[in-house]
């Protein structure tokens, strides 16, 4: 019921072990998109719950059986506030309330269960922190061995989650991009299961469920704008894919305008998107307090640009000081304590309200991808 399509050459592949990207186009240009037989799925759709865990969407996911921790992934609240920032309504999707306190659990749950299904013994990933701590905790109760590659600079909370889970940690001297490259070399040579953003097409399948949940929680009333922080480009691709699929399935009649928000000091994907077609991956030196989106060589850049372009989305960036202010705004106005990358969409919203691109009566959702407890250094903790 599933096949994979190359994001650049549209060649299709079947679901099979060790199939991560297109043989023709390689790991950056040839990332794959998972496609389902939507006509077969349409009659299977039942009434979705506003609070159930992510695996309620199993007919739209590539995994057959879920482990015990699945009950702790997804079903995060969409909080609704009146009269914040002069807006009629503001919705906050709080994905810092997953098991490991980030949205990445949605991807890790898919990766761990697929790796078990396909008979792997070891799973690995490179991560700025959240994917690592998520994989460590989600795989803890599985039979898999777990190997994590992380850059030297990693917030204390995320490192603590790794350490306590008892996984093998490879701290790489260098950036996230360096850790990524090293993990690919070692991981593939050892034939370990790869839970790396962008490279593994199934990670989107987990992350897209945040978009499904937003629509279910809004009673299928499509918001005008959804703001999402962007690093590698996988989360925003996944969110747009989720919205598109609910449209394909006839559950909604349009896709909201999705705005990607980057830190000014790490806005590589924005640069590629704004330069326009043909989208060409670049590698930049980056620096931001928002470690989760501190990515200089985004791996899902083609997919993100394509998804954004065909749905009228856009990319913007905000300064680190605006991110810190947004952390405080968000916590003191809504009670949601976000890590820097999690508050970045609020900083973007404030910019767009000031410039008039978003109006106070627009229906806006900001997606908070991680809990502030993971990195308290940004607020002087």
Interface contacts to its own copies, rule CB under 8 A? 49, 51-53, 68-69, 71-72, 75, 77-82, 94, 97-101, 137-141, 156-157, 159-161, 163-166, 327-328, 331-337, 371-374, 376, 379-381
The minimum distance between CB 24 and its own copies, in angstroms, equals 38
The minimum distance between CB 243 and its own copies, in angstroms, equals 21
DSSP for 105-171 reads HHHHHHHHHHHHHTT-SEEEEE-SSHHHHHHHHHHTTSS-EEEEEEES---HHHHHHHHHHT-EEEE
Based on CB atoms, which residue is closest to its own copies, 33 or 349?
A: 349
Based on CB atoms, which residue is closest to its own copies, 13 or 81?
A: 81
Based on CB atoms, which residue is closest to its own copies, 21 or 337?
A: 337
Based on CB atoms, which residue is closest to its own copies, 177 or 291?
A: 291
169 within 8 A of 136, measured Cβ to Cβ = no
The minimum distance between CB 330 and its own copies, in angstroms, equals 9
The minimum distance between CB 159 and its own copies, in angstroms, equals 7
59 within 8 A of 41, measured Cβ to Cβ = yes
Distance of alpha carbon 361 from alpha carbon 185, whole angstroms: 50
Based on CB atoms, which residue is closest to its own copies, 22 or 210?
A: 210
Nearest to 14 by CA among 27, 29, 32: 32
Separation of CA 258 from chain center: 13
The minimum distance between CB 228 and its own copies, in angstroms, equals 20
Distance of alpha carbon 359 from alpha carbon 352, whole angstroms: 8
The minimum distance between CB 71 and its own copies, in angstroms, equals 4
Nearest to 147 by CA among 126, 131, 175, 117: 126
Structure tokens at 42: 């349409």
Distance of alpha carbon 121 from alpha carbon 271, whole angstroms: 39
Q: What are phi and psi of 338, to 5 degrees?
A: -110, 150
**Gyration radius (Cα) of the chain, Å:** 19
Based on CB atoms, which residue is closest to its own copies, 139 or 200?
A: 139
The minimum distance between CB 348 and its own copies, in angstroms, equals 19
Based on CB atoms, which residue is closest to its own copies, 137 or 215?
A: 137
């Amino acid at each position: 019921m599933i096949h994979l399509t190359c994001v650049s050459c549209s060649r299709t592949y079947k679901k099979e072990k060790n199939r991560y990207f297109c043989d023709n186009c390689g790991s950056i240009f040839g990332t794959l998109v998972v496609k389902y037989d939507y006509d077969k799925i349409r009659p299977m759709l039942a009434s979705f719950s506003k609070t159930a865990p992510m695996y309620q969407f199993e007919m739209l996911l590539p995994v057959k059986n879920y482990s015990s921790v699945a009950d702790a992934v997804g079903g995060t609240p969409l909080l609704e506030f009146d009269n914040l920032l002069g807006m009629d309504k503001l919705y906050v999707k709080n994905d810092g309330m997953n098991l490991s306190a980030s949205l990445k659990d949605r991807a890790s749950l898919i990766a761990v269960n697929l790796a078990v299904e396909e008979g792997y013994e070891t799973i690995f990933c490179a991560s700025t922190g959240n994917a690592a701590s998520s994989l460590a905790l989600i795989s803890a109760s599985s039979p898999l061995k777990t190997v994590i590659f992380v850059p030297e600079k990693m917030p204390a909370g995320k490192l603590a989650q790794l350490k306590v889970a008892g996984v093998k940690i490879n701290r790489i001297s260098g950036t996230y991009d360096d850790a990524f490259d090293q993990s690919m070399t070692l991981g593939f040579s050892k034939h370990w299961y790869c839970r790396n953003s962008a490279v593994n097409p199934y990670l989107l399948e987990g992350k897209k469920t945040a978009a499904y949940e937003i629509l279910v929680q809004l009673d299928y009333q499509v918001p005008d704008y959804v703001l999402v922080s962007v690093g590698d480009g996988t989360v925003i691709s996944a969110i747009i894919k989720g919205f598109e699929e609910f449209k394909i399935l006839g559950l909604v009649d349009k896709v909201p305008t999705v705005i990607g928000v980057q830190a000014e000091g790490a806005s590589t994907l924005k640069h590629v998107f704004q330069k326009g077609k043909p989208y060409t991956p670049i590698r930049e030196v980056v620096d931001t307090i928002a470690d989760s989106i501190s990515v200089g060589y985004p791996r899902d850049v083609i997919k993100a640009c394509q998804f954004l372009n065909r749905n009228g989305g856009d990319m913007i960036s905000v300064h680190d000081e605006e991110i810190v202010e947004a952390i405080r705004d968000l916590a003191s106005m809504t009670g949601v304590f976000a890590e820097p990358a999690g508050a970045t969409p609020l900083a973007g919203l404030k910019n767009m309200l000031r410039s008039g691109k978003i109006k106070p009566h627009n229906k806006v959702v900001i997606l908070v991808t991680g809990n502030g407890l993971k990195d308290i250094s940004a607020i002087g903790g």
